[in-house]
Amino acid sequence: MRVKNIQVGYTVPKNISQKILLETLRFYASIDNALTFTKYPGLDPEITGTSYPTFRMTTFGVNLTF
């Protein structure tokens, strides 16, 4: 079993974002290749013939709309 992507975000309410001259303000975080649960002895049960592991990538961001 694998959890490929987890994403959480928060959009600031308009009454607060408009005070700092923004129409929309959103913060988010995302994790790709978050978790793998397996008894497979290799690095990645989905990919064969390679010796490279699947990397976990974490992303943080801000979306602004003026």
- Split into its structural domains, the chain has a count of 1
pTM for the full predicted model? 0.75
Angle, vertex CA 58, rays to CA 54 and CA 62, nearest 5 = 150
pLDDT per residue over 11-54, tens digit each? 999 999 999 999 999 999 999 988 888 787 777 777 767 677 77
In angstroms, what CA-CA distances link 32 with 6, 19, 21?
A: 7, 34, 33
Instruction: Give residue 41's domain range.
Output: 2-65
pLDDT per residue over 42-56, tens digit each? 777 777 676 777 789
